[in-house]
Amino acid sequence: MILDIRAIRRTGKDQQDFYFEYALEQELSDIPNVKVLSPVKVNGTITLTGTHEAFVEGEVIFTLSGECTKCLTETNREYVSEFAEEVFEGNAEGYSVVNDRIDLSKIITDAILINMPVTLLCIDDCKGLCAGCGVNLNDEQCKCKNK
Ligand SMILES: [Zn+2]
Ligand SMILES: [Zn+2]
């Protein structure tokens, strides 16, 4: 997703809201059997702060889909990750302005990675599977305890 500083300036304002859906180019989840659903949603505001500089802030809304890390039930959960970055020519962090254009791909990817959980849980207090009898302890009583 590209924001064009000149196009914004032509509107006569120094601020513009944006919303778009972004297809991830790479899989960002390291959780086994869990992936980030594409596209992710991006919602934000760009403020022009100088001739070739801007401040972008907003949120990335992404959904993890796959097996609950504890009980293996298929699970979808939505996460919101905020970003707020200065973007300018030659920015060493890579949030750079090139030919008055800002490519948001790296900001989006980094925002997701910073808030990527290490587990995907179907519910926060998922009880998981019994190591003995294998039942899903969210749904059933453990059978091995009764013996
Ligand atoms: Zn679970
Ligand atoms: Zn058991």
Q: How far does residue 123's CA lie from ligand 2's centre (Å)?
A: 20
- Strand-strand pairing, 40-50 and 53-67: antiparallel
Per residue in 50-99, pLDDT tens?
989 999 999 999 999 999 999 999 999 999 999 999 999 988 777 889 99
In 3D, which of 21, 126, 134 has the Cα closest to residue 74? 126
Q: How far does residue 32's CA lie from ligand 1's centre (Å)?
A: 14
Per residue in 104-125, pLDDT tens?
999 999 999 999 999 999 999 9
Q: Containing domain of residue 136, as a range?
A: 2-146
Per residue in 9-35, pLDDT tens?
999 999 999 999 999 989 999 999 999
Q: Which runs of consecutive H residues, i.e. helices, occur in the chain?
A: 5-10, 105-114
Closest ligand by atom to 70 CA: 1
Distances in Å between the Cα of 38 and the Cα atoms of 58, 64, 67, 115 are: 18, 10, 17, 17
How many domains does the structure of the chain reveal? 1
Sign of CA dihedral 57, 58, 63, 68: positive
Other residues' Cβ atoms within 10 Å of the Cβ of residue 30 = 9
- Global pTM? 0.88
